[in-house]
Homo-oligomer: A and B are copies of this chain.
Amino acid sequence: MSDVNKVLECLESRRGEWEDLLCDFLRIPSVSADPAHAEDVRAAAQWTAKLFDDMGFSVELAEPEQRPIVYAESPRVGGAPTVVVYGHYDVQPAEDPTLWETPPFEPDIRDGSFFARGACDNKGQILPHILAVRAWKEAVGRLPLNFKFVVEGEEEVGSLLLERFLDEQAERLACDCVVISDTGMPGLDQPAITYGLRGVAYFEVRLTGPNRDLHSGSFGGAVTNPCNALAKMLGGLIDDAGRVQIPGFYDDVVPLSDEERARFRAVPFDEKAFFRSLGVESAVGEKGYTVLERRWARPTYDVCGVWGGYQGAGAKTVLPGQGGAKISFRLVPHQDPVKIAKGLEIRLRQLCPPGIRLEIVDLHASPAVLTPLDSPCVQAAERALAAVFPRPPVAIREGGSIPIVARFQQRLGADVLLIGFALEDDNAHAPNEKYSVQTFHRAMAVSARLWDEMSRQPGAK
């Protein structure tokens, strides 16, 4: 029997034990946003650290007084590739407990799923990676790879400690690949590799006109109205074909290849159902692209907020002194947020009329992530997923940004493999969060196979 089959047999034979372990993990209310749960957050870190300790890893808790980062390294396996596995033990607040069918921190298994806060996001996705390593150790006696686990406790509140940790420990974290399971898949039997995430560049635009609100009758027509200017300026950032009107905006955009477009078309997606679920009949968007292409692989411009003047009931005849907006651009590989910010400023200054003072505040930026489909880790994952699930994986992208993923890629210079197992209806961040029991076990099998596949590739780090 091959090593990996021994591991799979081990995993299979102890299903109940793994389920109990996940339930123990889920019972810890490690809500990072709520200071009342600070002790629970540290308890979850300790719980996670103990797993590694039991496996003979060297473990440390970085920032132990805060929301600790559990950092665990396996004993050195000479000549084997090195993989960083990232996940998080903190969870979203449960919020209104009356909206939960069973209490959020008393895991319940029903209808084939674990119901608890953190079930899919992210305890039920990080634990299988840890347990697959454990099964390797127990069934085979040695590990196929060098493992460096990074399990943090503030993913839900911004990963500030981890950003610093990555900056400071980049050398120590050197690896061939970063594996993260914190994304989704299209269906229970349809696994996915998320090989692209959009980036983001987010700004606040503030316009100031006259030094006070004026009477629109006495002054209208003679004084530049900052809310009129705001509309023209925000409207002037995109044309009727949905193309962003910022100098150089598309210069560095990596065009979608024919192969990618074909892969997107293969992803099950019902456009009509999508619009129906949003209560709209159709939409405008960049011409020449499908809805999925626009969501996953094309840059966008969205007004996230806008304000100025009178917002109350009835009529107030005011020419406002100020107006403002929050705007975001979703970026695709290889757009540079710094270049976008410069282009935006040029364009807004062009559009800003006399009589208005313009201020642009750079609030937040993160580049896009793209993992080459021919990357060895993607190919290893494709084989591992195909061997476990009834269908081979689809290659998808995600329209949102996960800034920490870009940070991993930038700091470590390694490919990032995103293989996530959450379903659209798993209620991450909502009441009655759940995670399929079957998926939990499949994820372990995938992980066991992935370590095997990767061990056959030449290691560099």
Contact = CB atoms under 8 A, between A and B. Distances in A.
A57 B320 CA distance: 47
Given A223-B283, A306-B308, A218 B400 contact: yes
Contacts of A107: none
Interface in A306-332: 306-312, 314-320, 323, 325-326, 328, 330
Contacts of A307: 306-308, 311
Contacts of A317: 200, 202, 304, 328, 400-401
Nearest to A223: B283
Interface stretch (A231-239, A249-257, A432-440): A231-239
Contacts of A284: 224, 353-355
A16 interface: no
Contact of A278 (B214, B216, B299): B214
A227 interface: yes
B302 A311 contact: no
Contacts of A220: 295, 300, 302, 328, 330, 399
Contacts of A314: 363-364
Contact of A219 (B200, B354, B399): B399
Interface string A168-204: 0000000000000000000000000000001010100
B328 A305 contact: no
B231 A230 contact: yes
Interface string A389-425: 0000000001111000000000000000000000000
A301 interface: yes
Nearest to A318: B304
Nearest to A282: B354
A266 interface: no
Given A220-B399, A223-B283, A310 B304 contact: yes
A217 interface: yes
A242 B353 CA distance: 11
A311 B346 CA distance: 24
B330 A326 contact: no
B211 A279 contact: yes
A286 interface: yes
A224 to B, nearest CB: 5
Interface in A260-292: 274, 278-286, 291-292
A349 interface: no
A242 B221 CA distance: 8
Contact of A301 (B228, B294, B309, B315): B228
A398 B230 CA distance: 27
A309 B300 contact: no
B315 A363 contact: yes
B285 A306 contact: no
A174 to B, nearest CB: 30
Given A223-B283, A304-B320, 5 more contacts: A222-B274, A222-B283, A227-B302, A305-B320, A314-B363
21 contacts: A202-B315, A211-B280, A216-B304, A217-B330, A217-B400, A220-B330, A221-B285, A221-B295, A221-B399, A223-B283, A224-B283, A227-B305, A231-B235, A283-B354, A304-B319, A305-B318, A305-B320, A306-B323, A311-B326, A314-B364, A315-B328
